[in-house]
Structures are given as C-alpha cells and as structure tokens.
Amino acid sequence: MKRAKKKTTGSGASVAAPKARASRARTAGGKQGTPETLASAETESLAGLKERTEEGHRKAGRTPPSESAGPRKSGAKVIDDAIRNFVPVTEDEKLLQQAAPAVDFIRTDPWRVMRIMSEFIEGFDTLAAVNKAVTIFGSARIGPDDPHYAAAEELARLLAEAGFAVITGAGPGIMEAANKGAKESGGRSIGCNIELPFEQGANPYVDTLINFKYFFVRKTMFIKYSSAFVIFPGGFGTLDELFEALTLIQTGKIYQFPVILFGRYYWAGLMRWLQSRVLGEGKISGGDMNLMLITDDPAEAAKACITAYEAQTAATAQREATKRR
C-alpha cells in the first residue's frame, strides 16, 4: 500500500501531504464527469442520432438522405450557407456561441435575429389556415413492421377522417407513419423539419413541409397549431416535447390541451419515477400527474383529441361572448 508523501514545514517537522480526493460525481452512464467524457459523449450521441435516423429510412426501404451524393439539404431545401461559419455547425449552435470579434455582419447575432424572424414569418404564413390539428411525436428509428408504426398510422387515419391535420417532425419512423396515415386518408399531412449536422431528410408522405434552423421556432409551431400532442415511444427529442407541453399547461400558457402517452409499457417506468420521486418529494402536485393520458388504443387517443378540441372551441366561444357583454 502506498504511503502519503510527507512535506517539511518551516520548523523542520514533517507532515503528511493530503491525499487527492477522487471525484464521486459520475455521469448517468457511470463514467467520471470530466470534460473529456462529455466531449466523447457528445460525439457518440450525435453519431447515435444519425444512426437511428438512417435506420428509420432503411426500414422504410429508402436510402438515407445523409448517404446520397450532393450538397447537404434540410428536407427539400438546400441549406443556406450565407451566414454559416467555416466549420459546419447548426444555426442553433451558432446562436448560442459567443461571436468572435471583427466578424461580418451576416455572421452576427443581430443578423440572426432577422433570420429567426423570417422563420417565424414563414411558419405562421404557411400554417395560417390550420386551426384543427394534432402533433404526433415518436422515434425515427422504427420501421413499418413495428406495432407502434401501425398504431401511429391508424391514429392519424382516424384524426384525418375527423377533419384534423396531422403535424410531425417530418422524419422517418413514427413521424412517417403518422404522415402516411393522414395523407392516405385524405387529410393534411404537415412536416416541420429541423436542420441537423447531417442530412435528415423528410419522409415522402409530407404534403406541407417547412424547414427550420432553430429548434425553439419549430417547437412554437408544434404548440401554436395543435390542439393536442400524442407522444409515442421515443428518445430525448420526444421527451423534450413531452415536458415542454406539460410545463406550458402547468404554468397556464395553454389550456384544455391533452398530452397523450401512447404505449403503457414504454412509459410505465417514467410514470413510476414521477409518482414516487418527483411527486413524493413535493416537486409537483398530485394534479400534475393527471395532465397525461396513457393508452394503447388509437381510437381512445383519437377520441381524447377530438373531445379536447370541442372543449377548446366551446371555451373560446364562451370567452368571446363574455367580452361582448
């Protein structure tokens, strides 16, 4: 066993040097929380996202857009490189980075504010006529042979037959299934694509495609033009949209807005943790657990969306009538 090294004081006495204390902080995966670990995790995470997205396209019988030749695209549009740095990064990343000195105006934050405004304008203009829609989220990784793919397609079909447009993130997997169900049932099929460091591409069942560079602009469109969210099994992006909606409901920003979790088995662990830990420690209230509806039945999910839309419409009419008095 190694002994601690000793150092000499001014009086000549020796004292043991303090042992270096190993950090007990670990990542959720069990590794030490060092900058090197984070950098490696970020690289692996992006590679994993690319792999899952490509897998979704392959399972649908398509060559992933990221493997096709030619310039990078975002959905149907070539990405505008006019305000990009020399290193290929996303617009979100550039916005959140501190600008270097003496850069061209088109590479500064004031210019990006104008680009952000243009994205909002394009989104509002394209979706202005949409007043009855449901957004469906879920993994890009699954293929047509997955039961959740069929369930998402069936749900979208039921919603389209009830007069709802269906909005997704435009990618493969659950998003493709939902767009397919809406389109093949004669409904409006909308895709809000996001710029990524690799070519994600849009699924072939989108008939209204909008391309976004900024996540927060895209998320605004999901909320603004939907009367409900249906959350199928998915990863971080799916969870982000789930908790974004719950936060807006909890803080009174939106109302009569159902958040439907599809797939009881998949969500069971999260629900147990929220119940025992988050609610148990008083971080949320008991009523917050009732903001989510859990089902395995497309018909039940569709009925919840339809009922919520009717309640929203009635509440809006009542408020307008109150204003006129």
pLDDT in tens, 195-222: 888 777 899 999 999 999 999 999 999 9
Cα separation, 112 vs 275, whole angstroms = 42
Residue 253 clears pLDDT 50, i.e. is over it = yes
pLDDT band (50, 70, 90) for residue 254: confident
Q: Which residue type does 63 have? A: T
Among 229, 300, 304, smallest CA distance to 259 is for 229
Residues paired with residue 212 on neighbouring β-strands, in sequence order: 194
Q: Sheet of 189-194: strands edge to edge?
A: 208-212, 189-194, 165-168, 133-137, 229-231, 259-262, 292-295
Domain membership of residue 293 (yes or no) is: yes
Q: What is the CATH number of the domain that holds 298?
A: 3.40.50.450
Does residue 188 contact residue 156 with C-beta atoms inside 8 Å? no
In the chain, pLDDT over 90 holds for what percent of residues?
A: 53
Nearest 5°: the CA angle 283, 288, 289 is: 105
Give me the sign of the Cα torsion angle 271, 275, 277, 278. Answer: positive
Three-state DSSP class for residue 16: strand
Residue 139 belongs to some domain of the structure:
yes
What's the structural domain count of the chain? 1
Give a yes or no: residue 17 inside a domain: no
Q: Residue 207: exposed, middle, or buried by beta-carbon count in 10 A (0-12, 13-18, 19+)?
A: middle
Q: Which residues span the domain enclosing 205?
A: 131-324
Once rounded to an integer, what is the mean pLDDT over residues 34-40? Answer: 68
Ranking 3-17, 27-41, 241-255, 262-276 by mean pLDDT, the lowest is: 3-17
pLDDT averaged over every residue in the chain: 83
Give the span between the Cα atoms of 54 and 275, in whole angstroms.
Answer: 35
Q: Report which residue type is found at 176.
A: E
C-beta separation of 123 from 217 below 8 A: yes
126, part of any domain? no
- Asked if residue 43 belongs to a domain, the reply is no
- DSSP for 131-195? -SEEEEE--SS--TTSHHHHHHHHHHHHHHHTT-EEEE-S-STHHHHHHHHHHHTT--EEEEEE-
If you compute the radius of gyration of the chain from its CA atoms, what whole number of angstroms results? 24
Q: Which residue has the higher pLDDT, 223 or 7?
A: 223
Dihedral sign, CA of 189, 192, 195, 197? Answer: negative
In a domain, 20, yes or no: no
Tell whether 70 is covered by a domain: no
Tell me whether residue 30 is in a domain: no
- Average pLDDT, integer, range 185-203: 90
